[in-house]
Amino acid sequence: MNGCCNDDDVAFDGTSVAYRNALIAVIVINAGMFAVEAVAGFSAMSQALKADALDFLGDSVTYTLSLWAVSKSPAIRARAALFKGVSLGVMGIAVIGMTVYRVIIQGQPDGETMGLIGGIALLANVVSALILLRFRNGDANVRSVWLCTRNDAIGNVAVICAAVLVVWASSPWPDLVVAAAMGALFFQSSIGIVKQARAELAQLNQSSA
């Protein structure tokens, strides 16, 4: 099918109307959820929700960059993916740093709000993942979009689990642990995206030599 990619079509570069429409849909979803989670994160004093809101914001920006890059040359797409990978790593470090700060100045988060917003965010990311599922393989620019969406869904499940533990244990620590874990996941994905993008750039340089 035109615009699809599968395990045998890892070179898919996103240049299809279907993929562009999918990106536009998930950009709208992520931008909306950033606004919702940012407000809820500060209201509930939850580091996990704030980290997830930051992830939604980052995804909105990087998906927009991906949408711009799909019509460009392979070198530009690889450099766009490299930029997104580095940005994801910076975001991971920022989340971990904010979590360390929160450990020093602890406060009890609102577990009920965490659970409710985490559930809404999970639904949004499941919808996004289903939209992008058939485009999960491809060049670094395409794959980075899938990894961001996958991270979101994992993070939402973790936020919901943390909310349950916060209420059960009457402690902020589950929220802080989940926020730190999300930061580590962002950083891990960053390494994978950067490696693939650099490999693609190296291959392009060899081909043009």
Q: For residue 86, give the H/E element and its range.
A: helix 74-104
Q: Please enumerate in sequence order all residues whose Cβ is within 8 A of that of 111, keeping only pairs 6 or more positions apart, or say none.
A: 163, 164, 166, 167
SS3 state at 106:
coil
Give the Å distances, CA to CA, from 15 to 68, 99, 159: 11, 39, 35
Specify whether the CB–CB gap between 129 and 74 falls below 8 A. Answer: no
> Distance between CA atoms of 192 and 102, rounded to whole angstroms?
28
Give 111's Cβ-side CA count (13 Å radius). 15
Interval 56-82: pLDDT, tens: 887 888 788 878 877 777 788 778 778
User: CA separation (Å) from 163 to 124, 142, 180, 182, 189?
Assistant: 18, 32, 15, 15, 24
CA distance 162 to 40: 15
pLDDT tens sequence across 94-134: 777 767 666 566 666 777 888 888 889 889 988 988 888 77
State how far the Cα of 37 lies from the Cα of 52, in Å rounded to an integer.
Answer: 7
Q: Where are the domains of the chain?
A: 17-208
Among 6-20, 27-41, 158-172, the range scoring the smallest mean pLDDT is 6-20
- Indicate the pLDDT class of residue 1, thresholds 50, 70 and 90: very low
Tens digits of residue pLDDT in 141-156: 677 777 777 777 877 8
Q: Domain 17-208: which CATH class?
A: mainly alpha
Residue with tokens 């709208």: 28
141 versus 2: the higher-pLDDT residue is 141
